[in-house]
Amino acid sequence: MKLFSKVELSYNEFKSQLIADYRIAFESRQISIIGRREVLTGKAKFGIFGDGKELAQIAMAKVFRDGDWRSGYYRDQTFAFASGITDYHKFFAQLYAHPDIDVEPASGGRQMNCHFSTQIIDANGNWLDHTQQKNSSSDVSTTGGQMPRLVGLAQASKIYRDREDLQHMTTFSNMGNEVAFGTIGNASTSEGVFFETLNAAGVMQIPMAISIWDDGYGISVPNEIQTTKEDISEILKGLQRDEKGEGFEIFKVRGWDYPALVATYERAIQVCREKHIPVMIHVTEMTQPQGHSTSGSHERYKTKERLEWEREFDCISKMRSWMLETQVCSNEELEELEKESKDKIKTIQQQVWKDYLAVFATEKEEAIKLVYDLNNEQAYKLAEELRLMYEPSLKDIYGLVRKALRIVRKEDSTAKSRLLRWYERHQEVNTDRFHSKVFTESIEGVEYITETAVEYPAEVNLVDGREILNACFIANFERDARILAFGEDVGAIGDVNQGFAGLQLRFGEERVFDTGIRENTIIGQGIGLALRGLKPIAEIQYLDYILYAITALSDDLASLSYRTKGGQKAPVIVRTRGHRLEGIWHSGSPMAMLLDTLRGMHICVPRNMTQAAGMYNVLLRSDEPALVIESLNGYRLKEPLPENVGEFTVPLGVAEIMKAGSDVTVVSYGSTLRIVEAAAEELEGLGISIEIIDPQTLQPFDIRNTCGKSLSKTNRLLIVDEDMPGGASAFILQQILEEQKGYFHLDGQPRTLTAKAHRPPYGSDGDYFTKPSVDDVVEAVYAIMNEANPEKYPTIF
């Protein structure tokens, strides 16, 4: 059994590596201990650490190469140190939430500690060379949330290996030889997303290596309650590869057995890398010496016998004993190493804390001086209070300044003006610290895509809307080899509404392919593929089913740019269809949910397939993620086929006036817009002129203030929407009345017309009575005019 590699080592080299590994394990443990103390003293807000998992992670780091990818969770600190994806200084900087991305490159202080991430793009949003570094996709706190993207990260290696037309993308892959490493806790293997991911990887046969850190518990819940047979690898034996060559290679090893861990990881990853197949390493008998996190103590739920066992089988203690037994080191040598390591970690921690405070020291001193200069007794006391604070936070500093400005609100002085200017200037600094990079803000952002008008031939060719989408996709697939499309029924039949019809035959199964019914993993595939430089279109068959993918969309994709402060991007386009099909499960418009959970993604709601095509033409040229919701009842409606179907653009955030009018501004989108247009005809007969506006996208919303300008003319507003009451209509109202200052133009109460507060029942009558109809729109507009002029527009009911 060779512990390190196929290269023969001298005894001194062997001893040196053993000592280096023990040092990393011991120092990582000291960081866990000190980190917990820092939280309990109040310097850090929350702490979660990787104690008890050190040896397995060192073994994994030995086989983690440049170009490989990690998709893990918050127990991986020792792996992060051993692989070099972070260091001790950066670890403590994250613990203290240091807002400087150069000091804390994983998140710029936006994520809790042990949430690792490597920068894969530069400050301008350009891709770095992933093959020359070890890569970690940004962690999420949901303990199974790292699994879906792992599929895409591994699938990308297979794609790069198999497709000759991508061989030039040498900064993303070395002929597909990369392994995607995933880690998960034993308790989280109870989650559906774990099984969904495993099944997908087994079907696809991709180079994915999953490590399960098994310490017997999920916070306070033991394996006997978490897992059938109390053993995840036992119940997954059906996935073991067989004579057909399908499934997983499954390995099992104890977390305190250093020689076996090193040998197991070397063998497992060799199989994964060379045979390009998935492997699973179940690491058992791990411990968690400090409990789950700083929020509680494991002594409350572990028995005395379990705690004694954990002390005896602590992996660092076992490695130390093994090194003494094999006479690799003497006790004196190890004691000296341990003393040096403790001193080293304590020194680093103190220095990082000092550096953290120094960032704000200048702001503190400037604020104190400016508040003193106000020459106000109350403000003076505030400044003195701040001056005497030993370790003030930004909250303390800026809270003082804001309070001082309130105190002198009635004064007019040069000192007050100086303080106000200082505060306003530093608001820009704090915006960068805490609010920036919701999108990557690169030159490939949607706002920089050249606007190209739609062009039609002299003889208009009316076709089904689906044919426009089909032509748009064909043109883009021919233009850019990086584009892929996948989802349920996308491949063989070209999706249920034929937007991808014939594309698999034309471009091959490697670019247009089916997936199983696994919405969360479909989105995860998209994220992983996009992180590795590809341009995925991930299809969720119906908008209602996006609920099954919302965790991957919200926790991962939508927050990716923000939580890495622009260090990572994943330009996934999520394609789906929704709105007015009849029935509880196929007619949803949960727009409020999407608006709340998908900040960091564009939300496109095209009224027809031409508009959808123009949006795809923008998104497929940009580097920002988006959700496109096509109108489900619009695929067979006739539209003129553009000449430049793969080139014209519909700029995101630009609302369009569909019909000019003078009496009421009516804002609607998607399928409901056609209802409004039909109602406009009857309203004209009633002597009412409405101005119809289609915002086209809800994120961003009407960046040119088209709605507000219309309201300044009509002074009356109606929002028509298929979401439930208080949903997207409330968001649109907020945007128009607050952001666009539309409140000041109102002559009457603004109104919303929405679906009822339940899902629509099946059938045309269910649709009529549940969602806005032409009759509803006519009567809602008429009621607004009745309020304005009851004599001219007498009450109907």
Give the residue numbers marked as catalytic: 586
Dist. CA 62–CA 709, nearest whole Å: 62
User: Which pair of tokens denotes residue 207?
Assistant: 């180079």
CA distance 487 to 701: 28
Bridge partners, 537 (sequence order): 485, 573
Structure tokens belonging to residue 643? 């000449």
Q: Are 217 and 223 in contact (CB under 8 A)?
A: yes
Q: Give the Å distances, CA to CA, from 355 to 79, 252, 430, 554, 715.
A: 25, 43, 18, 34, 56
Strand 462-464 relative to strand 638-640, pairing: antiparallel
Task: Report how far apart, in Å, the C-alpha atoms of 460 and of each of 352, 517, 609 are.
Answer: 68, 40, 16
Count the Cβ atoms, other than its own, within 10 Å of residue 454: 18
600 with 438: CB under 8 angstroms?
Answer: yes
Beta bridge partners of 127: 121
Alpha-carbon distances of 3 from 14, 56, 62, 68, 495, rounded to whole Å: 9, 13, 10, 21, 50
Q: How many CB atoms are located within 10 Å of the residue 375 CB?
A: 12
**Beta carbons of 379 and 371 less than 8 angstroms apart:** yes
672 touches 769 (CB < 8 A): no
Neighbours of 767 (CB within 10 A): 18
Strand runs labelled E in 501-543: 512-514, 535-539
Tokens found for residue 658: 């569909």
Residue type, 386: L
Select from 369, 421, 428, 434 the least CA-distant residue to 397: 369
How far apart, in whole angstroms, are the C-alpha atoms of residue 394 and residue 364?
8
Rounded CA separation 350/795 (Å): 75
Task: Count CB neighbours of 583 within 10 A.
Answer: 15
Name the amino acid, one letter, at 466: R
Structure tokens at 730: 């409330």
Closest CA to 653 of 707, 592, 710: 707
| 510 CB neighbour count, 10 Å cutoff | 14
State the number of CA atoms in the 13 A half-sphere of 195 facing the CB: 10
Q: How many other C-beta atoms are found inside a 10 Å radius of the C-beta of residue 665?
A: 29
What distance in Å separates the CA atoms of residue 271 and residue 7, rounded to the nearest whole number?
18
Helices and strands of the chain, counted as H and E runs? 27, 22
**CB contact at 8 A, 673 and 658:** yes
Q: Enter the tokens of residue 765.
A: 């009558």
Q: CB-based contacts of 383: which residues, under 8 Å, 6+ apart?
A: 367, 368, 371, 372, 400, 404
- Cis peptide, bond prior to residue 700, ω within 30 of zero: yes
CB 751 within 8 A of CB 716: no
Nearest CA-CA partner of 589 in 727, 777, 718, 726: 727
Rounded distance between C-alpha atoms, residue 503 and residue 491, angstroms: 8
Q: What is the 3-state secondary structure (H, E, C) of 121-178?
A: ECCCCCECCHHHCCEECCCCCCCCCCHHHHHHHHHHHHHHHHCHHHCCCCCCCCCCCC
